[in-house]
Amino acid sequence: MNPKITINLRNGDTWFCLEQLSPDTKFDDFSCSIAEYDDYLYKDALRSQNDHIALTWLLRERTTGIIAAYMSLIADAIKLSLSEKDIHSLNYPFKTLPAMKIAKLALSQNAQMKYKGVGSYMIFNALALARICNRQLFAARFLTVDADIEHDKGVLAFYEKNGFIPNAELYHKNRKTVSMRKDIYA
């Protein structure tokens, strides 16, 4: 077995390109081992995009064109307690703050076997898109996610490794997911 190729901020653009889902997208038999996530990409992602519900971004291998991962992004807002706002030095009278949410994030089985760090690279790309929105379109202080602990018990550790923390206001409200946030500017 060949060792996994480590993907990071320095070499990610050498190995992959990020593109937005389009009606002409070729899926190349994407499979991530979670049927719900595969079904979303094949059956719902384009419809969600056309209905202005979520934008889906595909990470393709440059050499083969195969989809290694995808993420769907949506607008979001999160409620933070006073102590949570203090962590981020946000002295504002309102509880709800603007965010961009990773609604779906999936890596193909092939990418999981071949590469290390693709999930973190996708989060880097989500942060980059959030910063573009902040400069040109709308404000979003946080990147949020509902970590899917139903399908992957290790997902909390993955998001924590990437700088996310649980949202106390929403913690344990839904046992299938854990609401988490990352300060885009921390």
Q: Which portions of the chain are predicted below pLDDT 50?
A: none
| CB atoms inside a 10 Å sphere around CB 94 | 10
How big is the CA angle at 10 (ends 4 and 14), to the nearest 5 degrees? 70
Domain ranges of the chain: 5-183
Q: Which amino acid is at 18?
A: L
Give the model confidence (pLDDT) of 52-103 as tens digits: 999 999 999 999 999 999 999 999 998 888 888 888 888 888 888 889 999 9
Asked whether 152 and 107 are in contact (CB, 8 A), the reply is no
Q: How far apart are the first and last CA of the chain?
A: 39
107 closest CA partner among 118, 123, 99 = 118
- Fold of the CATH domain 5-183: Aminopeptidase (3.40.630)
